[in-house]
Amino acid sequence: MATAMMSLLEVLKGASEFLGKQGVESPRLNAEHLLAHVLGLKRMDLYLQFDRPLGESERAPLRDLIRKRGTGIPLQHLLGTVEFCGRTFKSDSRALIPRPETEQLVERALTYTNLSSPTSSILDVATGSGIIPLTLAFERPEASVTATDISPEALSLARENAVLLGVDRISFHEADLIPESLNASFDLITANLPYIPSAEIPILSREVQNDPLLALDGGTDGLDLIRRLALLAYERLSPGGHLLLEIGIDQSEEVMKCLAGHNYRDIVALPDYQGIPRFIEAVKQ
């Protein structure tokens, strides 16, 4: 007996209701993304096809994805991609899922006038999936770009993103922050380091706990790696070079004190779109 057909809208409503019952935020949006992924459409194209009949061959893979999303597997891992600064990057469990606010870090970096010279250089520390250095390489083609990460898995994802986006001029290094073997100075050092206090990790959302622990755990108060980088970055910055960090909520004062203790100047806390001091900017004397 043939399986009964259902309209696209009926399938979408059913998927949304299920995700809502499983505690998924924005269940309708999640369902739309997953259905569009299964059908090979853009999400907005669904709105033009609500009456389209869907058979079992189309509904079965969607059911599997919806079930996984209901258990807390992040949407980005199920789609295999994430949008960042208008570009599509691969995203999976090898590295932290890029957060929207990190786009503001890149936007701020692009205001620095010293990155347009053919001799300018950028270093991204704890690069994860490579979204920061790859975006900066696109936007500042004159600059040389280097990226480091302690995780070989994260670096493999970053390299795959470089190939996907056709960027072949980034130097990747497996290292704990900045290796001694990296004999260079930089006009800009960026970092979105792990900044979550260890004790808070067990109470993070199901989705965040799918990120690698190495990309989350910042030690007792979340600032272990930031403190280490503050000294290392000062030694590797060119005079007048910028350090630009993404930090956690309520960490700005402590991070600014740390940077002042290492003789940085022009130390500023910059808010994200929600008004939270999310970024710290500092300049080498």
pLDDT tens readout for residues 243-278: 999 999 999 999 999 999 999 999 999 999 999 999
Cα–Cα dist 150/218, whole Å: 14
Return the exposure string of 140-162: e unless at least 16 CB atoms fall within 10 Å of the residue's CB, then b: beebbbbbbbebeebbebbebbb
Mean residue pLDDT across the chain? 96
Residue 1 pLDDT > 80: no
Look at 2-11, 203-212, 230-239 and tell me which has the smallest mean pLDDT: 2-11
Cα–Cα dist 157/133, whole Å: 13
Q: What is the pLDDT of residues 157-190, one digit of tens each?
A: 999 999 999 999 899 999 999 998 888 899 999 9
Task: With beta carbons less than 8 A apart as the criterion, state whether 187 and 241 touch.
Answer: yes
pLDDT number for residue 2: 45
Amino acid at 192: N
Cα–Cα dist 80/63, whole Å: 17
Q: What is the pLDDT of residues 62-72, one digit of tens each?
A: 999 999 999 99
pLDDT number for residue 5: 87
Query: For residue 24, how many other CB atoms are within 10 A of its CB?
Result: 22
Least Cα distance to 126 among 79, 87, 176, 170 occurs for 176
pLDDT number for residue 4: 75
Least Cα distance to 277 among 258, 243, 254 occurs for 254
* Residue 219 token pair: 């030690």
Structure confidence at residue 3 as a pLDDT band (50, 70, 90) = low
Task: With beta carbons less than 8 A apart as the criterion, state whether 109 and 141 touch.
Answer: no
Q: Which domains, and CATH codes, for the chain?
A: 6-71 (1.10.8.10), 92-283 (3.40.50.150)
